[in-house]
Each structure stands twice: as structure tokens, then as C-alpha cells.
Amino acid sequence: MIYFDKVTKKYGKGSTAVEDITLSIGPKEFVSIVGQSGAGKTTLLRMLLGEEVPTEGSVFFESTCVNELPQGELHSYRKRMGTVSQDFRLIDNKTAYENIAFAMEAAGRTDAEIASDVPYILDLVGLGDKGDHFPNELSGGERQRAAIGRAIINQPDVIIADEPTGNLDPINTNEIMQILEKINELGTTVILTTHNKGVVDAVGRRVITMEKGRVVRDDKQGRYIL
Amino acid sequence: MFFTSLKRIFKSGITSFFRNSFISFATVLIMTVTLLIIGSVMFMSAMLTSVLDQVRDKVDVNVYFVVDAPEIEILEFKDQVEDLPEVSYVTYTNREDALVQFRERHKDDQLTLQALDELGENPLGASLAIKAVEPSQYESIASFLDTDPVLGAEGTTIIDDVNYLQNKIVIERLNTITDAVERIGVLLALVFVIASIIIAFNTIRLAIYTAREEIKVMRLVGASNMYVRGPFIVEGILYGISATLITLIFFYPVTFYFAEYTEAWLGGVNLFEYYTTHFGLIFISLLATGVFLGVVSSFLAVQKYLKS
């Protein structure tokens, strides 16, 4: 489903973020990518989203070479991805309802679909009574739930979660992870990057360990080892 | 689908305009200043044109005829002059009217009137006041009058005098001054308009800079470029409309207040009257400028983040 083929990403003055990475991720997998800050985890995800272009190698999503997609087709490709990040990345001047609805509008869904699906998703992520709240009126955990709601509303093939629990307390971390596991059980591939050993160990699924831009371990039922 | 997207884009733009009230207020304020400058330039241009027209209107070439010149020959000559392409219009004053006007002009000068009465007959000849299309064309009209002397039945010229030479220096100086004033006016107007447009453009860019993260998020969730750009362009249109309305409302009392001064100082140019009679033109000009500025600035500012 996802294939990184000898991917290297270098920034100006020879700084290498990712070096010669080859790995594949299959459908319905739950993959945790771990490593210290600067190990290249986020760069890997940004290349998968088409936000960065590899210096060498190619990133494939099914038969699509992501780094060769023209700018005008990236938005269609991204509709197949749901993203969740550490800083939530909600639109500040839209309510939780509107943030989730925006992803549906961008995907060209009808008003009737939006009116029926958004309340359902808000309930699913535990924000049924906070749909009309703006991001600054929500706690960190609630914002992350809204972000997850937005990520899953269009039933994407893949959820990319970049440090989704980085700003959350243990209780919210646990709840967010439960939601992500539930989404995976329903058939969506989840790619998670995290520093949180407890999270990785609790999930007990595939773990890819990165160090200085390279993959140093790839364990099917791994643990956080650094 | 297109209309649904359009409806959502408009709704989103309008909502953002009101929710980001502080940024909208600041942007509209700057754009209002821009439109005030552009509107003021329009007013000044109109007043300048009017004043210059009045000054030009005071210039003419007068042809004075001998006292015994037959009226029919004068009128024939008038027709010839009117046929010249350089001539705008010709005013004929017959001997009797010339006398009436003379008496009126000197009604407080008893000595002159007394001398006139003692003469016992009308000493004034008829005259033609020739108005050129452009002040620079008086020279060619004068040369026509010089080279084509009008002869009466006795073979002598019926023209007594042409006052072009006396007026020549004044006319030339006036032409130089009016041209210079017009050029300086256009240059100043351009400087003000360009400077204010740049300020408004940068203000909108700054407003969109604050939304750069929002643009990134929109792209990340798969919104097309049109869908990302659309609401910002709608906001740009709203900035333009709001600024135009504020400017028009502001101009109403201001032109009313200054009307009497402009009328007194600028030879009858009533600013308020100009504003009300040209309201449609001013409204369309300001609205078009405001909306164009809003749309183009928003488009270019968002484009930067869509490329990155």
C-alpha cells in the first residue's frame, strides 16, 4: 500500500534528514515510528503527504508516485489521508463542527451528508456537546479529538498521526490512543510517530525505530527500544 | 457542485470577515484611507480642471470693426471664422450692444459717460469675440485674420483692430502655467494613488499572513486551491465594499462643509454639488478600485502560501 523506495531527503548545506530508507506498510496496519527528535520521523510523514519531495528515491501510495504528483493533484491525493498532529492544527476561527465539516466540504460532500455525518463523528470522538466551541474554548484533549474527527470524517485509507499525544496528559493520551486503535480495527491504516514509550508498548504492534535519518529496527510486534 | 462550492466559499468568507473582526477592521480602515486619497484626487482633479477651464474661458481674441463696417459683411466674416476647425464659437456684438455694454461698464464713471454724450453719436464699432477650441490655437486663428483681410465695398479693410498681439504674451504664459499645473497635478495624483495602493496591498498581505497556518491546514485536509483561495478573495471583496461605503459616507459631510469655501475660492466650483451630481461615477470608481485591490491583493497573498 505504502512504499518508500530508497528515499533520501537532504536540506540545504548537506543536512540529511532521511537517508536511504526502504520500507513498506500494508493495508490495515498499525505502525509506530519511534526515534529521538531529529531522527527523521516527521520528514518521512511529510514526504508521504507530498509536503516534501525526496532528494533521492520515490514514495509510492498504491500505484501513485507521490513525489511526481503535480501540485494541482495533491489535494485529491490528500483526501485519502487523514492527519493528526501534536499541535492539533485546527482552524482557529471555525468551531469544532465547522473544522470537521470543512474536510467534508473540501471533499465535495453534500450538505445533507455533512449534516448527518458531522454530529455522528463528534459523538464518536466524545465532543457531541461541544460542536459549537472554537478551538480556544476546548482543552488540549478535546482539540485532539476534534482533529481526529476531522481526520476520519472522509473515511481515509490512512491516518497519519504525528506525535498526537505529545501535548496531552496521560488520561487524554490513553483516550486518544483508544480512538486510533478503534479506527484501525475498522480497517484504516494508522501510522503513528511518538516519543511515548508507554504508548508504543501498550499498542504492541509494528514498531519502526529511526536513528539519524535511518531505519535501525523494524519489529512486527515491537517495543520502544532506544 | 460548482454552485454548492461557490455558496460555501461565500459563506466561509463572510463568516471569516466578521469573526476576524479586528483584522477586518484594521484592513478596512487602511483601505478606507486609500480610497479617501483616491476620492480626494478625483475631487481635486475635477476642481483643477474646472478652474483651468474657467481661466481658459476668459481668454479670447477680439476683432474690432471700423464704425461704418456694414453688418452684413461682418456676419459673412463671422461665418467664415466659424468654419475654421480651431474655432469653438464666435460671439457677435453689434454697435448698439457695444455701446450698452460700455455704458454699463462705466456706469460709475460720470466723466466718461459725459464725454460719450457730448459726442452725440455712437463711436464704437461692432466686434467679434473668437473662442478657440484650445488656447494654443489662437496663434493660427490670428494668422488667418492677418492673411485674409476683409475688404469692404470701397476696397478698404473693415477690421479696425485685432487684439491678439496684446493678449499673446498672456495667452502663452497661461498655456505654460495650465500645462504645468495639469502635469504636476497628474504626477502628484499618481504618487498618492500608487503609495496608497501599495499600503493597502501590504495590509491585506499582512492580514493573510496571519492566516498562513489556516491555509496550510486547509491544504492538508485536501482542499483544492480554489477552495482555499475563495474565502480570502470574498474577504477582499468585503474589505473593498466596506471601505467604499465608509468613504462615501465620509465624503458627504466633508464636501458639504467645504462647498462654500471651494465656491468662494475656486470661482464657483461647489464641491458638494460636484459630489452629488457625480455620485454614480465616484461610487463606481471607488467600488471598482476597492474591490479590485481587495481581490488582487488577496489572490496574490494566498498564492504565495499555496506555492510553498
- Nearest C-alpha of chain A: how many angstroms from B11? 12
Cβ-defined contact of A103 to B222 (cutoff 8 Å):
yes
> Is any Cβ of chain A less than 8 angstroms from the Cβ of B214?
yes
Minimal-distance CA residue of chain A relative to B9: A105
Give the pLDDT band (50/70/90) at residue B161: confident
pLDDT higher than threshold 70 for residue B308: no
The answer as to whether B61 is a domain residue is no
pLDDT at B155 over 70: no
| Domain housing B126 | 67-157
Residues B135 and B180 in one domain: no
Please give the residue of chain B at the shortest CA–CA distance from A48: B220
Domain-ending residue, one of B106, B128, B157: B157
Are residues B205 and B281 located together in one domain of the fold?
Answer: yes
pLDDT at residue B7 in the model: 92
Per the model's pLDDT, the better-predicted residue between B13 and A220 turns out to be B13
Could B222 and A108 be called an inter-chain contact, meaning their C-beta atoms sit closer than 8 Å? no
CB contact under 8 A, B221 and A106: yes
- B110 CB neighbour count, 10 Å cutoff: 9
Flag whether residue B2 sits within 8 Å of chain A, measured between CB atoms.
no
Domain final position from B94, B125, B157: B157
**What is the C-alpha separation between B37 and B23, in angstroms, rounded?**
21
Res. B47: pLDDT tops 90: no
How far apart, in whole angstroms, are the C-alpha atoms of residue B116 and residue B125? 14
How high is the pLDDT of residue B9? Answer: 93
Judge whether B24 is closer than 8 Å to chain A, CB to CB: no
Decide if pLDDT at B143 tops 90.
no
Tell me the pLDDT tens digit for each residue of B191-214: 888 888 888 888 888 888 888 888
pLDDT at A59: 95
Mean pLDDT, rounded, for B284-295:
93
Chain A residue closest to B12 (CA)? A94
Size of interface A-B (CB pairs under 8 A): 57
Averaged over B136-162, what is the pLDDT?
A: 74
Average pLDDT, chain B: 86
The pLDDT of A34-38, averaged and rounded, is 89
Q: Give pLDDT tens digits for B57-72.
A: 777 888 888 888 888 8
Task: State the Cα–Cα distance between residues B82 and B65, nearest whole angstrom.
Answer: 17
Q: Does A110 sit within 8 Å of B4, measured CB to CB? A: yes
Residue A15 is predicted with a pLDDT of 87
Q: Would B23 be classed as within a structural domain?
A: yes
Pair B298, B201 in one domain? yes
Q: How confident is the model at residue A190 (pLDDT cuts 50, 70, 90)?
A: very high
B225 lies within 8 A of chain A by CB: yes
Among A69-78, A90-99, A104-113, A128-137, the minimum mean pLDDT is found in A69-78
Q: What is the DSSP string of B123-155?
A: -PPPEEEEEESSGGGHHHHHHHHHHSPPB-TTS
Which residue in the set A78, A92, A93 is minimally distant from B222, CB to CB?
A78
Residues of chain A neighbouring B213 (CB-CB closer than 8 A):
89
Select the residue of B8, B214, B216 nearest A105 (Cβ to Cβ): B8
Q: How far is B292 from chain A (nearest CA, A)?
A: 26
**B166 belongs to a structural domain:** no
Statement to judge: residues B47 and B183 lie in one domain: yes
Same domain for B216 and B139 = no
Which residues in chain B touch residue A92, judged by CB atoms under 8 angstroms apart? Answer: 214
Contacts for A36 with CB less than 8 Å, ≥ 6 apart: A195, A211, A226
| A209-224: average pLDDT | 87
The pLDDT value given to residue A31: 95
pTM above 0.90, yes or no: no
My answer on whether B194 and B285 are in the same domain is yes
| Residue B277: closest CA among B292, B290, B259, B261 | B259
pLDDT at B261: 87
* Residues ≥6 apart with Cβ < 8 Å to A226: A34, A35, A36, A209, A211
Mean pLDDT of the A119-136 span: 93
DSSP class of residue A71 equals H
Interhelix angle for B279-307 vs B212-220, to 10°? 60
What pLDDT does residue B138 have?
A: 82
Place of cell 485519502: A80
The total number of structural domains in chain B stands at 2
Nearest CA in chain A to B215: A91
Residues of B in contact with A107 (CB under 8 A): 222
* B187 and B125 assigned to the same domain: no
pLDDT tens digits for A129-183? 999 999 999 999 999 999 999 999 988 999 999 989 888 888 889 988 999 999 9
CATH number, residue B82: 3.30.70
**What pLDDT score does A119 carry?**
95
A31 or B114: which leads in pLDDT: A31
Quick check: is B164 in a domain? no
Say whether both B76 and B47 belong to one domain. no
Does some domain include residue B167? no
The reply to whether B88 and B131 lie within a common domain is: yes
Distance from CA of B16 to the nearest CA of A (A): 7
Give the residue numbers in A contacting B (CB under 8 Å), as ranges.
49, 51, 71-72, 74-79, 81, 83, 89-93, 102-103, 105-108, 110-111, 150, 154
Same domain, residue pair B196 and B294: yes
What are φ and ψ of residue A94, in 5° steps?
A: -120, 145
pLDDT of residue B106: 87
| Spatial distance between the Cα atoms of B98 and A164, rounded to a whole number of angstroms | 98
Q: Is residue B163 part of a domain?
A: no
Q: What is the mean pLDDT of residues A113-141?
A: 93
Using a CB-CB cut-off of 8 Å, the residues of chain A touching B218 are 91, 102, 106
Examine the domain organization and report whether B130 and B203 are in the same domain: no
Q: What is the pLDDT at residue B150?
A: 63
Tell me which of A46, A88, A102 to substitute to probe the interface with B (most B C-beta atoms closer than 10 Å). A102
- The pLDDT, as a whole number, for residue B148 is 62
pLDDT in tens, B17-35: 999 999 999 999 999 998 9
User: Which of B22, B218, B220, B227 to probe the A interface (max A CBs under 10 A)?
Assistant: B220
pLDDT at B163: 81
Tell me: do B291 and B185 sit in the same domain.
yes
Helix (H, G, I), strand (E, B) or coil at A137: helix
User: Of B91, B124, B157, which marks where a domain is finished?
Assistant: B157
Please tell me the predicted confidence (pLDDT) of residue B154. Answer: 63
Is B186 part of a structural domain of the chain? yes
Work out the burial of residue A60: count CB atoms within 10 Å of its CB; fewer than 13 is exposed, 13-18 middle, 19 or more buried. middle
* β partners of residue A3: A24, A60
- Give the pLDDT of residue B151: 61
Cβ distance A92 to B16 less than 8 Å, yes or no, reads no
Which value does ipTM take for this structure?
Answer: 0.76
CB contact under 8 A, B223 and A108: no
Confidence tier at B113 by pLDDT (50, 70, 90): confident
pLDDT of residue B152: 56
Q: What is the pLDDT of residues B217-260, one digit of tens each?
A: 888 888 888 889 999 999 999 999 999 999 999 999 999 999 88
